[in-house]
Amino acid sequence: MRGNRGRIKRPDDGATGRHKRRSRRVRLLELAHARSGDKGDTANVGLIALKPEYYPVLVKQVTAARVTRHFKGMINGPVERYELPNLHALNFLLHGALDGGGTISLKTDAQGKVFSTALLRLEVDLAK
Amino acid sequence: MTRSRGRQTVRIAGGQGFWGDWLEAPYRQVTAGPVDYLMMDYLAEVTMSILQKQKSRDSSLGFAKDFVPLMERLLPILVERHIRVTSNAGGVNPRACAQAVAALAHRLGFGGKLRIGVVTGDDLLARLDGLLARGHELRNLDTGRPLSDVRDRVLSANAYLGAWPVVDALRRGADVVVTGRVTDTGLTLAPMIHAFDWRPDAWDLLAAGTVAGHTIECGAQCSGGNCLKDWQTIPDLANVGYPIVEAAPDGTFEITKHPGTGGRIDVAGVTEQLVYEMGNPAEYITPDCIADFTTIRLTQAGKDRVRFSGIKGRPATDTLKVSVAYFYGYKAVGTLVYAWPDAYKKAQAADRVLRQRLAALGLKFEAVLTEFVGADATHGPLARASAPLDDLPEVQLRIGVRSPDKAPVERFTREIAPLILNGPPSVTGFAGGRPKPEEIVAYWPALLDKRMVEPCVEIVDA
């Protein structure tokens, strides 16, 4: 359940090495639902598999490093990931996502409410 | 207590998820079916500073004023049905809140029939200098800075109290418990501790009650509201049913809602609420315990009924979270709407013109943020990468500025309207007039040794 810091580069984040004939590229929207919220300048995104069999796909491919790259230009801090296998869910903390957060923020989404669906734009490989 | 599942259970209804939530919800919760407790959460992080400001102007204010007219509507039902209330509507002045409810009860003819519990001791504002002098630095949990950095700008400071003072009030017969800064989860956990006589070190049970509290603390967010999964098929949100915890003495519980109400309670929707505003799921820290959300087992136990079991907890920490609000500066946000054709390009051009003018005026800001609503305001570069933005019917230019000083923000607010006549064409949507500079009250989370905080419980008879 330890958070893995997004800044740590890993040689293989699961997104590469796909076999074109055996898998298809899908948006997370097809595999998961999500809800997000705030804690100060940090947005959290809870990512929940729509079916239990999708959960390992999320664990393998939706790494902290991958999410950090996905939100490039939108957050200025690291990404932490936590696993909730009991709920088939991952929890991401996106630090420095909210322009100071709460009342300080000038953003429309000052409380990080729709980082959830922004994460669902990410594409992963799903075995056919 | 009801015996709806063939054994002793207690039913706790969530009535308000925040101050400003649906006014009909608490009324429906106490009239549409049997409940034992009504829990209402009013306090967000910066609410305390707003209330502190009201109290400084008038010492009889400083609590959630809406609570009193709501109680006027509910009291006859609460008394008749023996439903007890736990609420943090007391804000920074729980005694005044309790007195207002007592006066109301008296006026409604419930004198002698209603006991009001008051929980205080959370307010640290008057004690702040003493605490700092004794070496409690109240460092910002996010930035690590000591509170002395902003001491002269502090507007409110409150420790989060847990369930136990609320339990004390219930044990002393309170029908309505009004508190200051008690945790949202504590307001739900307290009736369970009281009903089942849970021990202070029964960590698994306390964790279970805490998870129940987290599940219902945002009102309908666990019963179909703001639910992404299958949102188009969630029935009758116009009459959405707010959640009810049906708790058992062994720490298992079910989340349900009154029959005939709208919304949906299923494992997927409840899971969305469980991960909402979640940090490390294995360490959900409250004043009462540490709840481990990775141990929760959810099963669909019937229509609109989700069963929770297996929850594990660990001993509480020896600190309390403190929420400090302090004056930060000023901000303002201006908007204009640009229409087809080239709506996005026109809005971008207007933004360039405006920024050039702000620079020419020599105005200094801590931040200037431009968003194009309809194009990239919420999903930023992800939206720009995936959607065609050259043929949008309209785009709202939304530009905000922030500064420690009021003057540049004030000047900025006068630079929006001129663009209507002297900037790019096809612009509208300015009926709201010139934006107003807004004071920013910011939030400073910190920790404090628990021994420094002494909760106080009083009973007021109506």
Size (chain B), residues: 462
Q: Quote the pTM value.
A: 0.94
H or E, element range at B13: strand B10-16
Q: Is A46 on the interface with B (CB under 8 A)?
A: yes
Residue A111 to residue B293: CA distance in whole angstroms? 23
Q: Name A76's Cβ contacts closer than 8 Å, sequence gap at least 6.
A: A96
Cβ under 8 Å to B: A residues 74-93? 74, 82-89, 91, 93
pLDDT in 10s for each residue of chain B, 462 residues: 444 444 589 999 999 999 999 999 999 999 999 999 999 999 987 788 889 889 989 999 999 999 999 999 999 999 999 999 999 999 999 999 999 999 999 999 998 899 999 999 999 999 999 999 999 999 999 999 999 999 999 999 999 999 999 999 999 999 999 999 999 999 999 999 999 999 999 999 999 999 999 999 999 999 999 999 999 999 999 999 999 999 999 999 999 999 999 999 999 999 999 999 999 999 999 999 999 999 999 999 999 999 999 999 999 999 999 999 999 999 999 999 999 999 999 999 999 999 999 999 999 999 999 999 999 999 999 998 888 888 999 999 999 999 999 999 999 999 999 999 999 999 998 877 899 999 999 999 999 999 999 999 999 988
Residue B140 to residue B331: CA distance in whole angstroms? 22
User: Which of A76, A55, A80, A62 minimizes the C-alpha distance to A120?
Assistant: A62
- List domains and CATH numbers for chain B: 10-122+160-317 (no CATH), 325-444 (3.30.70)
Specify whether the CB–CB gap between B173 and B116 falls below 8 A: no
The owner of tokens 């049970």 is: B205
Give chain B's radius of gyration (CA, Å).
25
Q: Domain A24-127's class?
A: alpha beta
Cβ under 8 Å to A: B residues 66-125? none
Residue B414 to residue B343: CA distance in whole angstroms? 23
Residue B98 to residue A22: CA distance in whole angstroms? 66
Residue B120 to residue B40: CA distance in whole angstroms? 17
User: Which residues of chain A are within 8 Å of residue B272 when distances are taken between CB atoms?
Assistant: 33-35, 46, 48
Here the ipTM equals 0.95
Specify whether the CB–CB gap between B159 and B184 falls below 8 A: no
As beta bridge partners, residue A94 has A43, A79
As beta bridge partners, residue A88 has none
Specify whether the CB–CB gap between B136 and B324 falls below 8 A: no
User: Which residues of chain B are within 8 Å of residue A70 when distances are taken between CB atoms?
Assistant: 382
User: Which residues of chain A are within 8 Å of residue B294 when distances are taken between CB atoms?
Assistant: 1, 83-86
Are A84 and B295 a contacting pair at CB < 8 A?
no
CA separation, residue A96 to residues A75, A110, B119, B217, B227 (Å): 5, 12, 36, 26, 25
User: Which residues of chain B are within 8 Å of residue A83 when distances are taken between CB atoms?
Assistant: 294
H or E, element range at B136: none
Q: Which two tokens stand for residue B338?
A: 């640009």
Specify whether the CB–CB gap between B314 and B289 falls below 8 A: yes
SS3 B211: helix
Quickly list DSSP for B353-389: HHHHHHHHTT---SEEEEEEETTTTTTHHHHHHHS--
First to last CA, chain B: 24
Of B273, B295, B440, the CB nearest to A104: B440
Q: Which residue of A has its CA nearest to B372?
A: A108
Q: Is A34 on the interface with B (CB under 8 A)?
A: yes
